[in-house]
Amino acid sequence: MELITGENDKGRRLDRILRKALPDHPLPLIHRLLRQGHVLVNGKPGKAQDRLDCGLIIKIPSIKNKNINKNNKNGRKTSAAEINLPPPDIIWQDAGLLAVNKPSGISVHGLNSLDSIVQSFLKDKLPPSLSFKPGPLHRLDKPTSGIVIFSTNIEGARLFSSLMRERKVRKTYLTIVEGIIKKEEIWQDDLVRDREKKKTFVSDLEISGKPAVTKVIPLAVDGNHTLIKAEITTGRTHQIRAQAAFHGYPLAGDIKYGGHRLKNGSLFLHAWKLEFLNFSLEAPIPSFPQISLLNRVLLTKNP
């Protein structure tokens, strides 16, 4: 087997490249081949820790492995539904990053997901790479719409991931909550994730959690509902949903966190704005027919 390194493989360790390029080969097998000198880089035995340049030829002996799935390079079958996926709704592209407007009702990962759509769109548009695969750099819940950032090269992935770790990405959501919020509020809580229940809770004194801060700004009121702008600096799973419920304002339609079921459709939670470095991105605001006044505000007014 012969592999050629690309620009996005530059500076990466040989063992990391092989793990990505050969997902169906067990890791112990890859390391055994390296230890025994069977992996050649430009004709010389390569070491696991070697950092490679682009344009190098890696030769690996053919291995008969019954556990290797031959359906495709990702080790799973491609469904018929994934063959003709629609193009993504692209908001912006620059600096090795791609901003996509995710519709409500589809997952970021998995079969027929936003990731599948973007992968299908980019498959013939990026230079070949053994170790780099474009993918989402953060996630939104299935019912949540709005901006998701994908990487289109390794530099973009490293840049955005670093900004996320340093909390230099400002995220603003729009949502509709039950109850009336009259003035700006700051919610500061420690959150705990229950993986079995797939639900997030505000921790009590007995369980340590991860800090979450949400700035809430009311925009409009309709009966017993408030359209709010929620700005977050942390990115905990279900952060806005869990904090809103804890503070007495569950999202309208969010039955998982105590909201009342709406007649037509799910909750409204939209990742509206994303700001980092000198970029400010906005996702078009979808309509929400369940609450007429707020729907008119969303369609006619820029929050």
Instruction: Establish whether 141 is a catalytic residue.
Output: yes
Burial class (CB in 10 A: 0-12, 13-18, 19+), 241: buried
SS3 23: coil
Spot the catalytic one: 141, 189, 204, 254.
141
3-state secondary structure 33-68: HHHCCCCEECCEECCCCCECCCCCEEECCCCCCCCC
Which amino acid is located at 103 in the chain? P
DSSP secondary structure string for all residues of 157-181: HHHHHHHHHTT--EEEEEEEEES--
| In contact, 31 and 48? CB cutoff 8 Å | yes
SS3 of residue 76 by DSSP: coil
**Beta-carbon contacts of residue 198 (< 8 Å; ≥ 6 apart):** none
- As given in the structure block, the two tokens for residue 184 are 């700006």
Q: Scanning the structure block, which residue is given the tokens 């390391």?
A: 31
From residue 56, alpha-carbon distances to 17, 40, 74, 228 in Å are 12, 10, 23, 53
Catalytic residue ranges: 141
